[in-house]
Structure 1
Amino acid sequence: PPPQMGRIAGPGQAYGALAPLPVAALRLDNATVAQLNRLGLRRIGDLLGQPRAGLARRFGRGLVLRLDQAMGSAPEPVSPARSPDRFAVRLTLPEPIGLMEDLLAGIDRMLPRLCARLEARGKGARVLRLEAHRCDQAMETVTLGLARASRAPDRIRPLLEMKLEQIDAGYGIDMLRLEVLQAEAIHARTPAGHMQAGAAVQARQEDGAALEDLIGRLGARLGLEAITRCHPAESHIPEKTFTVQAAAWSEPAAGDWPRPPRPRPLLIWQPELVHAPERPEVPERFRWRGRNWEPAAAEGPERIAPEWWLEDPNWRSGVRDYWVVVTRSGERLWLFFAHGGALSPGWFCHGSFA
C-alpha cells in the first residue's frame, strides 16, 4: 500500500515509497499525465524502469527533471514565503487613565512611532485599530478607515480623536495598542516640469489631500461606504450615463465629462407617473405629486430610444420624447411622453433642473 501522508522515506527507501504513487504526483501537466496513462505508464514505478533517454525524447526533459527531483538526484530549492509586515505599537501606562485628554496624549506618543515604521517600509496605513485594555481585563476597540493610505500623524490623529468617544474607559485603561490592519505602498509624488507647472501640480495635490481628509472625517462618522462619487459611463440612456463608486476606493474622474446633446437636469429620479391626457403634445395642465401644474413654456422634444439589445424593465414603455417644461410657478421639470411598448403610453416626470 502507498505510504501514509506526512511520512518521510528513510535512506535508500525512496524507490519503494514513490513507486506506488500515480504519475500525477510528480506535478506534471494534464496533457503529459494523459499521454502517459494512454501508454500504460500510470505509476511512478513504471517510469523509473524506463530508459531515461527515451523518456526525455518522447516527453521532454521536464519529466526526467521531475523524476530526479523526486528521487533526490536533482536539487529543488524552496524559498520560504516572506512573513507579512506587521505594524503595531503599544503603550503600557503606570496608572489607569480614563479622560479624553489622557487618551490623546497616549496616541500622540504612539502614532509618530507607528508612522516612522511605516515610512521605513515605504507604506501607509489604510485601516487602523486602537485597542484600549481596561483594568477589569476587558478591551475596547475602535477601527478607523482612511480614504487614502497615509503615514502622516497630523492627518491620522484628528480621525482617531473622532473615534475616542466610542471607548468606555470603565474603571480605567492601563494599556493602549495601535495596530495597522491594512497597509498599502505609498509612492512619492515629485512635481516635474517648469516652476509654474510644478506649482500647479502641487496645488492639485494639496486639494486632493484636503478632499481625502474630508472623506476620512465623514467616513469616520457615516462609514466610508456611504461616501460615493460619480464616474461617466458610455450610454445614451439618461440614468445610465454615470456609475456610482465608493470615493475611498476610486479616483476622481479624469478629464471632462462628455456633453449630452441637450442639457440634463440637476436631479434625476425614477420616472414618476404624471396624470395627463395620453397624447404626445405637452398638456395644458397636469397633476404630479398631488399637485396641479400648468406649463408656461416647453422646449423639445428630444427623442430617446431604449437599448434594444438589453432587457431593461424601466424601458418597457418604449420610445420616449423628453421635454423641458417650465411651470407657471417657476419649476423646470424634465417630462417625457412614453409612446408605449410592452406598457401603455403616458406622461412621466424624470427630473428637475432646479
Structure 2
Amino acid sequence: MPRRIVSLWFPRLASDRFLRARPMDGPFVLTHRHSNTDRVYCLNDAALKQGLQAGMGYADARSFCPQLQSAPADLAADQQFLQTLARWAKRYCPWVGLDAPDGLVLDVTGATHLFGGEEALLQDMHLRLTRAGLTARTGLADTRGAAWALAHYGPGIAAVGQPLRAIGTLPVAALRLPDKPTVALQRLGLRTISDLIALPRATLTRRFDADVILRLDQALGKVPESISPLPDPPRYQMRLSLPEPIGLAADVMAGTERLLVQLCDRLKTHERGARLLQLTLRRVDQASQIVELRLARPMRNPARILPLFERGIAAADAGFGIDQLRLAALQVEPLEVRQTTHQQGAPNDRLDDLITRIGNRIGLENIQRFLPADSHIPERSFLIAPAAWSDPAKFAPPQRQRPLQLFPPEPIQGRGARPPRQFRWRRMALTAGRITGPERIAPEWWLSDENWRSGLRDYWKVETKQGRRLWLFYTPQNPGWFVQGEFA
C-alpha cells in the first residue's frame, strides 16, 4: 500500500487563536519584540488587505493603517493550541506529528477510505476548521516534503507515485530550504523545482550544500522521512490485585502504601506533584468503594500523603473483602525539585498537611487566608483567597498605621473639619483625648464604588478617654463624620 501524507498548515494560527477568544472587527495584528523592536508577528485578513505583512515594524504598520488594533503574541500559548489541534487531528488517523511552528503532518495511509476518499477527507478537515474559525491549507502526497510544498505553495492532491508532476512547477522555496540557498538558486535562474532537477546532481553538490539534494530527494521519495507522533500523556495510575480478599484497615493501608510509593516515584520522574488522589477499593462482589483525597499543595512524598488516607479508609465498607486496589492521581501540577542548603533546610509542610486534613472534611475552598492588595483604599487593601490555591504573602509594612478591625462606616454627630471632642457611638458617650491626623485618601476614579461616591476622606486616629482607639473620617464634599475602624 503506497504511503499517503497530509500536511496541514495554519498560516494565521496565532491571530486565529486570539480572535477566537476575543472577536474584533477591522485590521488586527499580533506583535512580537525582536532585536529591541516590536514587529508584526501574525495578522488577520483585514490587515493583509491593508498591505501589511508579517515581519514589518509595528510603527510602520501603524503609519500605513492608523486604525490598526494589536496585542502582544503569546508563543507558548500558540504551541499549546497547536498540540490541542494535533489531538483533534487524531480523529483522521492515529499517526499525527507536529510541523512546528504552525503546522501538522498526518500519515493517513489506509485511513482515507473511512471518510469517502482523499478529497472527502480534506473537505471534512476544511469544513470543521472553518467552523472553528481557523484558516487552514492542506496538501496530500506520497512524501512529507511534497505534501508540505502543496500545502504552502499549491494546495492540492498529488497522484499516487507522481510527486514530481504535482510539485514540479512550484518554486524552489517549496523544498523547505533556508533563505540563503533559495536566493542563490533564484539568482542562477532556477525558479522552479523542475529547473533544479534538470541540472546534473554533481553540479548541485559542488555549488550548494547537501541540504539542497537532501530536501529534493525527500520530496521525491528517494530518501525516507519519518514522522514523530506526539507521545501519549503519562498516566499516573497504579493497581494491585490481591490473591486473597482483605478487610482490615491496616491491610488496606499497607496496600495503599505500596501503590503510593510507586506512584510518587513516577511523579518524581516527571517532576509533578499530585493535587487530587483517588483510591478505588474493589470488593469481591464487584462493588467499589472510592476514597478521594484533595491536597492543599502538590505533593509526592509517600510518608506525608499516606496518613491523610487513614480517615477515608477507616470509613470505607469492605463488605466480604477487597481483592483489588487502584490508586490514581487525577490532577497533577508541576513540582520541581527543591534544593536544601546549610542555610535553608527542608520546608515546613505541617501547615499544608493541616489544611489538607481540615479541607477534606469541610472543603478546601472554605479555608481562606488574607493576602495584600495594591490599593490605598482601606476596604481594598487586602484579598481573601482559598489557602489551598494561594501562597502566604509577606505584608509590606504600611506607611500609615491601620486598625486591625474594619467595618462599614457608622455615622456620628460632629461639626467642622476636626474630630468632635464629645460624641456618641454605639450608644456610648465618648470623649476624645489624643487626636492624630489627618490622612487624606482620594477615591480610585477608575473603579466605581458606591461607598466612595462622596469623594475625598480625611482620616483621624482618635484615642478616647474611655479607652477606645477609633479610626474616624470626615467627608469635605458632603460634610459628615463616620467611624470605620478600631485599633487594638
TM-score by length of 2: 0.53
Between the aligned partners of 1:272 and 1:169, the Cα distance in structure 2 is 57
Pair 1:106–1:328, CA change in 2 (3 A): farther
| Secondary structure class of the residue paired with 1:219 | helix
Matches within 5 A, 1:320-335: 320-327=457-464, 329-335=466-472
Between the aligned partners of 1:169 and 1:327, the Cα distance in structure 2 is 66
Pair 1:17–1:90, CA change in 2 (3 A): closer
**Gap runs ≥5 in structure 1:** 11-15, 192-197
Give the counterpart of 1:292 among 428, 443, 446.
Answer: 428
Give the counterpart of 2:229 among 63, 75, 80.
Answer: 80
Between the aligned partners of 1:158 and 1:55, the Cα distance in structure 2 is 61
- Counterpart of 2:430 in structure 1: which amino acid? E
More displaced stretch, 153-162 vs 73-82? 73-82
1:106 and 1:176 in contact (8 A); partners too: yes
**What is aligned with 1:90?**
239
Give the counterpart of 1:24 among 126, 133, 137.
Answer: 137
1:125 and 1:180 in contact (8 A); partners too: yes
Tell me the alpha carbon deviations over residues 191-232 of structure 1, each in whole angstroms, 9 at most, x when there is no partner: 1xxxxxx2x411xx34x3233323323333333333344443
- Counterpart of 2:137 in structure 1: which amino acid? A
**What is aligned with 1:209?**
349
1:252 counterpart = 2:395: no
1:351 counterpart = 2:479: no
Supply the RMSD in Å over aligned alpha carbons: 4.5
User: Could you tell me how far 1:353 is from its partner in structure 2?
Assistant: 2.1
Identity of aligned residues (%): 42
**What is aligned with 1:306?**
443
Pair 1:71–1:101, CA change in 2 (3 A): same
Pair 1:139–1:9, CA change in 2 (3 A): closer
Matches within 5 A, 1:112-131: 112-131=261-280
Give the counterpart of 2:299 among 150, 154, 164.
Answer: 150
User: Could you tell me how far 1:305 is from its partner in structure 2?
Assistant: 0.8
Between the aligned partners of 1:53 and 1:91, the Cα distance in structure 2 is 59
Between the aligned partners of 1:244 and 1:144, the Cα distance in structure 2 is 24
Tell me the alpha carbon deviations over residues 78-104 of structure 1, each in whole angstroms, 9 at most, x when there is no partner: 21222222233333442341x544433
1:276 counterpart = 2:413: yes
**What is aligned with 1:233?**
373
- Counterpart of 2:316 in structure 1: which amino acid? I
Looking at both structures, which has the greater relative contact order when contacts are Cα pairs under 8 Å and sequence separation is at least 6?
A: 1
2:245 and 2:284 in contact (8 A); partners too: no
- Counterpart of 1:349 in structure 2: which amino acid? V
1:50 counterpart = 2:148: no
- Counterpart of 1:263 in structure 2: which amino acid? Q
Between the aligned partners of 2:269 and 2:172, the Cα distance in structure 1 is 53
**What is aligned with 1:266?**
404
User: Could you tell me how far 1:328 is from its partner in structure 2?
Assistant: 5.0
1:126 and 1:146 in contact (8 A); partners too: yes
- Counterpart of 1:223 in structure 2: which amino acid? G
Give the counterpart of 1:162 among 311, 315, 323.
Answer: 311
1:96 and 1:135 in contact (8 A); partners too: no
| Secondary structure class of the residue paired with 2:310 | helix
Give the counterpart of 1:178 among 316, 324, 327.
Answer: 327
Between the aligned partners of 2:221 and 2:416, the Cα distance in structure 1 is 86
1:142 and 1:163 in contact (8 A); partners too: yes
Pair 1:67–1:308, CA change in 2 (3 A): farther
Between the aligned partners of 1:156 and 1:285, the Cα distance in structure 2 is 58
TM-score by length of 1: 0.70
| Secondary structure class of the residue paired with 1:186 | coil
Tell me the alpha carbon deviations over residues 24-75 of structure 1, each in whole angstroms, 9 at most, x when there is no partner: 2249xxxx99x98xxxx7767898473545978xx976x9799998875775
Between the aligned partners of 2:306 and 2:174, the Cα distance in structure 1 is 66
1:122 and 1:185 in contact (8 A); partners too: yes
- Counterpart of 1:110 in structure 2: which amino acid? L
User: Could you tell me how far 1:120 is from its partner in structure 2?
Assistant: 4.8
User: Could you tell me how far 1:178 is from its partner in structure 2?
Assistant: 1.6
- Counterpart of 2:339 in structure 1: which amino acid? R
User: Could you tell me how far 1:121 is from its partner in structure 2?
Assistant: 4.7
For these two proteins, the number of residue pairs brought into alignment is 319
Tell me the alpha carbon deviations over residues 144-201 of structure 1, each in whole angstroms, 9 at most, x when there is no partner: 222333222221122112333553445544432222223334314131xxxxxx2x41
**Gap runs ≥5 in structure 2:** 1-91, 94-107, 112-116, 127-135, 141-148, 159-164, 183-191, 194-211
- Counterpart of 1:300 in structure 2: which amino acid? G
User: Could you tell me how far 1:275 is from its partner in structure 2?
Assistant: 3.9
- Counterpart of 1:24 in structure 2: which amino acid? R
Between the aligned partners of 2:423 and 2:230, the Cα distance in structure 1 is 73
